[in-house]
Amino acid sequence: MPLVTTERMLMNAQKGGYAVGAFNVENLEMVQAVVEVAEELESPVILQTSAKTVKYARFPYLYALVKAAADSVSVPVALHLDHGNSFELAMQALRAGYTSIMIDGSHESFEKNLELSKKVVEACAPSRVPVEAELGKVGGKEDDIDGGKGGLTDPLEAKEFVERTQVSSLAVAIGTAHGVYKGEPKLDLDLLSRIRELVEVPLVLHGGSGLAEETIKECIKRGICKVNYATELRIAFTEGVKQVLSEKTNIIDPKIFSAVGREKVKQIVLEKIQICGSAGNA
């Protein structure tokens, strides 16, 4: 089916008490893996690309890949810009056909973040493309994103931010981090509940890779409607490729080792969709 936006997808998740998995994709095989599993599980799904992935592959290529994949399945598929780091990049994504956009002004002051997010919302409104923003700062490092030690989201600021910007969803910082966790992360779940009480729009959890299943389910129970996964997919694909090349050193056909990488990614996506509880909700 044609690409859809994330607005109805996340509102349905909020009403249904589940979350939609948002998976960062880097190449054809990862795109195929995500949509094939979503179709198998009858789940809505979000494919997303980071600013660094866009710099590497460019918007037209990525859009064409995901559109072709979405056209081949019967479940709702959205294409989302993850951590758009400027107004200009957000507008490039909009013009390229992305159906959901994140503008990340979390590295700025509250007012500058608010101003930037509102500007993107207003620019996307005529096309009815929903906008995700981030308040607080998710820690860790991944691609060009460096959240350092992070900074937790203030519930009252979150309420004001959403009301003034009219964003469609909000990524919150409750102790998660991008990249690979060093030790067991300590999430402030009570903080998440307080944010949920004051903010009506769907909430987004970044840094889903590496979190325990029980932790993610508890976050969903407390209001998370979208969970982002990137690092685990990259690790899985790379491990698949390494496995083949270490066992058969004379292979020169990329299709052979890429296919194994794709299967490894499918295993991760299958697990995450089931954890999010979105299976059967297409």
Which pLDDT belongs to residue 146?
Answer: 46
Residue 228 and residue 22 in contact, taking contact as beta carbons nearer than 8 Å: yes
Which pLDDT belongs to residue 197?
Answer: 97
Q: What is the largest CA-CA distance in the chain?
A: 60
Which DSSP state fits 136? S
C-alpha 193/C-alpha 96 separation (Å) is 36
Structure tokens at 164: 């003034």
Between β-strands 145-146 and 139-142, what pairing exists: parallel, antiparallel or unpaired? antiparallel
Which pLDDT belongs to residue 210?
Answer: 81
C-alpha 134/C-alpha 205 separation (Å) is 10
Which pLDDT belongs to residue 22?
Answer: 98
Number of helices (H), then strands (E), in the chain: 11, 11
Which pLDDT belongs to residue 143?
Answer: 55
Domain boundaries, the chain: 6-235+266-276
User: Which residues 6+ apart lie within 8 Å of 237 measured at CB?
Assistant: 26, 27, 29, 30, 261, 262, 264, 265
Active site residues: 82
Which pLDDT belongs to residue 207?
Answer: 86
Count CB neighbours of 127 within 10 A: 13
C-alpha 211/C-alpha 184 separation (Å) is 8
Instruction: Identify residue 197 by its one-letter amino acid code.
Output: E
The tens place of each residue's pLDDT in the chain, 282 residues long, gives 999 999 999 999 999 999 999 999 999 999 999 999 999 999 999 999 999 999 999 999 999 999 999 999 999 999 999 999 999 999 999 999 999 999 999 989 999 999 999 999 999 999 999 999 999 877 445 555 544 455 899 999 999 999 999 999 999 999 887 555 455 678 999 999 999 999 999 999 998 888 999 999 999 999 999 999 999 999 999 999 999 999 988 999 999 999 999 999 999 999 999 999 999 999
Which pLDDT belongs to residue 140?
Answer: 46
Which pLDDT belongs to residue 160?
Answer: 98
Residue 30 and residue 262 in contact, taking contact as beta carbons nearer than 8 Å: yes
Return the residue matching tokens 């994709």: 25
CATH node for 6-235+266-276: 3.20.20.70
C-alpha 164/C-alpha 235 separation (Å) is 39
Inter-CA distances, 240 with 105, 152, 179, 244, Å: 35, 36, 19, 7
DSSP-assigned letters across all residues of 88-116: HHHHHHHHHT-SEEEE--TTS-HHHHHHH
Between β-strands 131-135 and 100-103, what pairing exists: parallel, antiparallel or unpaired? parallel
Q: Which of 67, 72, 29, 66 minimizes the C-alpha distance to 49?
A: 66
Sheet holding 145-146, edge to edge: 145-146, 139-142, 177-178
Q: H or E element: which one contains 197?
A: helix 189-198
Burial state string for 93-106 with b = 16 or more CB within 10 A and e = fewer than 16? bbebbbbbbbbbbb
Model pTM greater than 0.75? yes
Which pLDDT belongs to residue 137?
Answer: 72
